[in-house]
Chains A and B, each alone.
Chain A
């Protein structure tokens, strides 16, 4: 079955510390992976997708097919990074499968 697992409900780090938000997936084919972010009182928005291989707001994510992971990383966390982060996959169609989300708290 297709599934996205985000093992941490809450991740607290200090400002300036590295951040890694974990995402593991279960899918038999070649999925497309995404990270979505929801800042406080704002709507869900796309942060990055694996096919574009870009860095957004200092965040990167590498698709590791061997480990079936798509962890989100940032070398130096900032307070404005505090938000809810969702990992999602599709099989190349419109149907997203979302993880349960990880709340990132960056402490001053």
Chain B
């Protein structure tokens, strides 16, 4: 099992462009979580998805950010019209169930830099 995969590992975008971050959960995991880590801060929850459903997006900024987890393929975190403040590390995690007692396994992260 290769673990949670994220790509790209590093992404550079100019202000106003779109960023697409991909996350492939571990085999057998149908629960996916996205976290954002701004410089000098801890990881902050953004969104929780199951296959084809958004369960909780309470941590997502109201505009420009969206997430999906289609029936086939990886989960995608999409940021439209990026701004400098979006520069951060974005981590994806997956689990077999959506409760704290089920360990979340983290991917290596995508470091987004907005120039």
Interface residues of A (CB under 8 A from B): 4, 6, 32, 36, 42-46, 51, 86, 90-101
A-B contacts counted at CB < 8 A amount to: 58
Q: Are A98 and B106 CB-contacts (below 8 A) given A32-B100, A92-B99?
A: no
Q: Do A44 and B106 form a contact, CB below 8 Å, given A93-B99, A94-B31?
A: yes
Binds A, one of B15-23, B36-44, B61-69: B36-44
Contact at B109–A43, with CB atoms within 8 Å? Answer: yes
Give the most central of A36, A93, A96, A99: most B CB within 10 Å.
Answer: A96
User: In angstroms, how far is the closest chain B Cβ from the Cβ of A57?
Assistant: 16
At the interface, yes or no: B52 with Cβ under 8 Å from chain A? no
Give 11 new A-B contacts, CB below 8 A, not counting A6-B42, A92-B99: A43-B3, A90-B100, A91-B100, A92-B100, A93-B100, A94-B98, A94-B100, A96-B45, A96-B100, A96-B104, A100-B42
CA distance A30 to B43 in the complex (A): 21
- Can you sample 15 A-B contacts with CB below 8 Å? A4-B42, A36-B106, A42-B108, A43-B107, A46-B103, A91-B100, A92-B100, A93-B99, A94-B98, A94-B100, A94-B104, A96-B104, A98-B35, A98-B44, A100-B40
